[in-house]
């Protein structure tokens, strides 16, 4: 059976890229045979007409600007001399002329290159060389602004939907964290809707596992990396269990390298040089020990009664990336916790945020001072104060990176 495809456009709306035709306003025109008296009549009749095209056999040959025309005609004796002469006397012989099917982007560049004249007087629009009307600069700007907004909207819709996927991925971990820990709080603020930071929590009867990680980049590429790193970590936990953070970082390191083809021969340059910084830890409930392995990430620890916040530094080697060793082992550090010990961990987005009176990094000292000053408050209050301090510091500066930080307090045994 024949399908009458040619009829499709009749009943299905079809979007067409806007073109010069969309800007076309039909206007009166004159020919070279018309006199300036006639031009004067038309300008008097159409008060809003800023320019009047002149055509020859339907083809545009010039554009008469109202202001210039009236100034000329009002000069002494000009009316007497020019009234009966041809309308071409005061016309601009080189107006911008474009075809109706010219796309808006090309038209915009043409108009801008043509200069103020094309935007002020307007430009002539033709169909196969024949005059059809005039386009105006203001209307062109409106269409360009609309197109710009539509493009932005389309990109933002795409990213917003990506954000739904990224948040769903993080959701299980956040729920686990909230159900497992009595006094804990987590802040995850991607800079651009989606981001390169992620977290991962697993609970077991004998303790719990947590990770706060910062993948290369932010935005969409960063979010891709979180999916890769997070699934590598999930597989590593399935394989090795959650109790050895050092082993898990090694496993994620290999996973990322393999997945992104970073393990090629030495003279071959891999396309991806990406990876992550991370803090990985297992809290052993029976011994109250925190086993920690860190890749360019430190723990801030404040024990009850201690004078100051203690830093537990990780290794300086990143996870993934071309130049980190395939067999690198991140050291496992054991931190003895006590009932009431506070632990705070953050990605570098908080530490490095530019701001303050001198536009410098937020830094670790401000974090330590804030934890110390709020040491008796619940973790969610500490984190709210940290968010506020970051926002105050940032002030009118824009956010430089994704920010994730996690705070928890060791509980009395049940």
Q: Give the interface with other proteins as residue ranges (CB under 8 A).
A: 214, 216-219, 273-274, 277, 316, 318, 321, 348, 351-352, 354, 358-365, 400-401
Pairing mode of beta strands 403-409, 184-189:
antiparallel
Q: How far is the CB of 272 from other proteins (least distance, A)?
A: 10
Query: Is 121 or 214 the residue whose CB approaches other proteins more closely?
Result: 214
Tell me, rounded to whole angstroms, the distance of Cα 232 from its chain centroid: 26
Residue 410 CB neighbours (<10 A): 21
Q: How far is the CB of 247 from other proteins (least distance, A)?
A: 24
Q: How far apart are CA 106 and CA 298, in angstroms?
A: 53
Q: How far is the CB of 330 from other proteins (least distance, A)?
A: 17
Q: How far is the CB of 194 from other proteins (least distance, A)?
A: 14
What counts of helices (H) and strands (E) characterise the chain? 12, 19
Q: How far apart are CA 72 and CA 85, in angstroms?
A: 13
From residue 260, alpha-carbon distances to 147, 257, 263, 320, 324 in Å are 37, 5, 8, 9, 14
Burial class of residue 108, CB neighbours in 10 A (0-12, 13-18, 19+): middle
Q: What six digits make up the tokens of 267?
A: 């003279």
Q: How far is the CB of 315 from other proteins (least distance, A)?
A: 12
Q: How far is the CB of 401 from other proteins (least distance, A)?
A: 6
């Amino acid at each position: 059976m024949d399908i009458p495809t040619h009829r499709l456009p009749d009943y299905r709306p079809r979007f067409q890229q806007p073109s010069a035709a969309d800007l076309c306003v039909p206007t009166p025109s004159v020919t070279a045979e018309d006199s300036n008296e006639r031009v004067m009549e038309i300008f008097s009749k159409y008060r809003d007409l800023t320019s009047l095209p002149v055509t020859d056999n339907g083809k545009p040959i010039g554009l008469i600007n109202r202001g210039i025309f009236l100034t000329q005609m009002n000069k002494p004796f000009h009316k007497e001399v020019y009234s009966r002469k041809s309308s071409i006397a005061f016309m601009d012989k080189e107006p911008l002329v474009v075809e109706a099917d010219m796309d808006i982007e090309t038209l915009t560049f043409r108009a801008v290159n043509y200069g103020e004249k094309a935007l002020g007087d307007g430009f002539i629009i033709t169909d196969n060389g024949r005059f059809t009307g005039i386009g105006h600069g203001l209307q062109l700007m409106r269409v360009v602004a609309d197109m710009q907004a539509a493009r932005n909207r389309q990109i933002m819709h795409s990213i917003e939907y990506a954000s739904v996927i990224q948040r769903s991925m993080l959701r299980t971990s956040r729920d686990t964290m909230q159900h497992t820990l009595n006094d804990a709080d987590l802040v995850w603020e991607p800079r651009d809707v989606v981001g390169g930071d992620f977290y991962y929590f697993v609970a077991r009867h004998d303790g719990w596992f947590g990770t706060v990680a910062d993948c290369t980049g932010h935005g969409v590429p960063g979010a891709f990396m979180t999916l890769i790193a997070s699934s590598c970590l999930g597989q590593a936990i399935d394989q090795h269990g959650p109790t050895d953070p050092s082993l898990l970082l090694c496993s994620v390191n290999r996973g990322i390298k393999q997945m992104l083809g970073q393990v090629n021969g030495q003279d071959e340059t891999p396309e991806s040089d990406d990876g992550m910084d991370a803090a990985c830890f297992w809290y052993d409930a029976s011994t109250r020990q925190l086993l920690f392995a860190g890749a360019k990430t430190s723990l801030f620890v404040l024990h009850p009664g201690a004078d100051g916040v203690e830093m537990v530094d990780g290794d300086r080697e990143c996870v993934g990336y071309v130049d980190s060793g395939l067999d690198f082992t991140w050291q496992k550090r054991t931190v003895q916790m006590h009932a009431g010990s506070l632990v705070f961990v953050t990605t570098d987005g908080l530490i490095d945020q530019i701001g303050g009176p001198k536009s410098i990094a937020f830094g670790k000292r401000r974090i330590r001072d804030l934890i110390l000053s709020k040491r008796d408050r619940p973790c969610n209050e500490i984190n709210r104060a940290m968010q506020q301090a970051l926002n105050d510091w940032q002030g009118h500066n824009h956010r430089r990176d994704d920010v994730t930080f996690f705070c928890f307090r060791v509980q009395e045994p049940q």
